[in-house]
Amino acid sequence: MNKKLLITIMILLSKFVFSQNCSCADNFVWLKETFEKNDAGFQYVIDQKGNDDYKKYSDLYAEKVKTITDKEICTETLLNWLLYFRRGHLWLNSIAPNKISDKIDNEKIRKQFKDWETYAYNEKEFNTYISKLKEPSMEGIWASPPYKIGVRKVNNECIGFILEADGVYWSKTQIKFKIQDKNGKLSATYFMQNHTSSEINEVKLIGNNYLSMDFVLLKRISPAFPADISVDRYQKFQSTSIPLFEKLSDKTVIIRIPSFDGSYKKQIDSLIDANMQIITKTENLIIDLQNNGGGSDECFENLIPLIYTNPIRVIGMELLSTPLNNKRMEDFANDPDASVEDKKWAKEAFDKLNKNLGKFVNLDSNIVDVVTSDTMYTYPKNVGIIINGGCGSTTEQFILAAKQSKKVKLFGTTTFGSLDISNMYSVKSPCNDLELGYCLSKSYRIPDFTIDGKGTQPDFYIDRTIPNYEWIDFVYEIMCKPYKK
């Protein structure tokens, strides 16, 4: 995969009103023609599913869009048509018309919710009550910025009520959520910022000091219970937006990389440089890539030397040459911020592509690049990489390289599966109300070793009986402690 080509994964939906000059049927015609002519994975899918199946599928959507007048429904329908081809490396985004946003009237909002249900509590009595709690439970004071929430059991419910909030949408004593225990299974009704309700089917305490309700995570403020190191580390690692390094023991260190987005390259490289002496003198290295959706191959360059044991074979790709697709290379060549070398490369690539319109073109001389290194570090001896279904794109490219090392084992669950058709580009519709993200390249791994729709499996599957916050401990146990009968 060429380092100069950016890979992203996004599926975005927005709600706006159609302009008078556009219809859903018009946009479907544009979307279908554009995708058929320019997406590198289109013909690959048709070859697998057959022309008759595709025609039947598209004819169905052509009828659907004739009667759609709502922009949100249209966008969702067109996106569903796209998902016939693959589930990643595709997006369809509604473009908002230029509009001056309305100024928020705080007083109007306060009046709108002033009669919301409340829980009348005595602050002194409540603080005294929770200070006497001896065992961790849902009762207590919790933080979920910008909220501070009190939770108290009332009959068969736990009531979550506001202690501190923004003072606009939510005010002190208003009820933010209710947790019910139905035959031993906890569920909740959680009220969003605008007070609409969201039903949550999974509620649980994580360790002593975290309360999880699906997309909501609260951290305990009071009463104080002993911290659970594993849980605290998990929450820190999963919430971080920057790479982290931590020493787990004298024999094991861990690197957490939440993203390979190009903007993080300097941070990743700096983290590795700052801890290189420790890493290369420590027996075990864990690399946590959970929910790392990808980015740029350049971001993992400095990880490769840490895991290298033998030549790594990197399978290349070919670009579909069309006038629209080749414009991307023209943009590169004319980029005022690009180096002279990069502009020269882009100009040569543009010329080569234009000479081969309608064909797949290999910009490199080789189908396979073999990465070698004169340096092989004795330490780390063992490398465990944690993966899950949130790992895709460039992260999967790194995993394919890493798993060729004799040091490396993969832990977790199967990755997302979005790599074979890649290198994204975007184009706006003629009515300028939609933007399509599609792909320019196809991997030479097809059809022998495909990733799309399947993902990469771990060497050690971490099953559902092991909570997410125990994954690092599980990997540590396997890598660092000898087996005992």
The domain ranges of the chain are: 134-222, 230-423+442-480
| Max intra-chain CA distance, the chain | 80
CATH homologous superfamily for the domain 230-423+442-480: 2-enoyl-CoA Hydratase; Chain A, domain 1 (3.90.226.10)
Half-sphere exposure for 59 (CA within 13 Å, toward CB): 6
What is the pLDDT, as a whole number, of residue 102?
55
Which tokens sit at 470?
A: 């125990």
Asked if pLDDT for residue 244 goes beyond 90, the answer is: yes
The per-residue pLDDT for range 382-420, each reduced to its tens digit, is 999 999 999 999 999 999 999 999 999 999 999 999 999
What is the pLDDT, as a whole number, of residue 13?
32
Distance CA(103)–CA(443), nearest Å, equals 49
Distance of CA 405 to the CA centre of its chain: 26
- Band of residue 481 on the pLDDT scale cut at 50, 70, 90: confident
Which tokens sit at 103?
A: 């100024």
Which tokens sit at 264?
A: 């993080």
| Coil, helix or strand at residue 18 | coil
- Band of residue 10 on the pLDDT scale cut at 50, 70, 90: very low
- CATH level 2 (architecture), domain 134-222: Beta Barrel (2.40)
Contacts of 298 (CB under 8 A, 6+ apart): 3, 262, 265
**Per-chain mean pLDDT for the chain:** 91
What is the pLDDT, as a whole number, of residue 323?
97
Asked if pLDDT for residue 299 goes beyond 50, the answer is: yes
Enumerate the H helices of 20-70 as residue ranges: 24-38, 42-49, 51-64
Length of the chain, in residues: 485
Q: Extract the runs of DSSP E, i.e. beta strands, from 9-154.
A: 91-94, 140-144, 147-154
What is the pLDDT, as a whole number, of residue 482?
66
Asked if pLDDT for residue 376 goes beyond 50, the answer is: yes
Distance CA(130)–CA(467), nearest Å, equals 28
Asked if pLDDT for residue 113 goes beyond 70, the answer is: yes
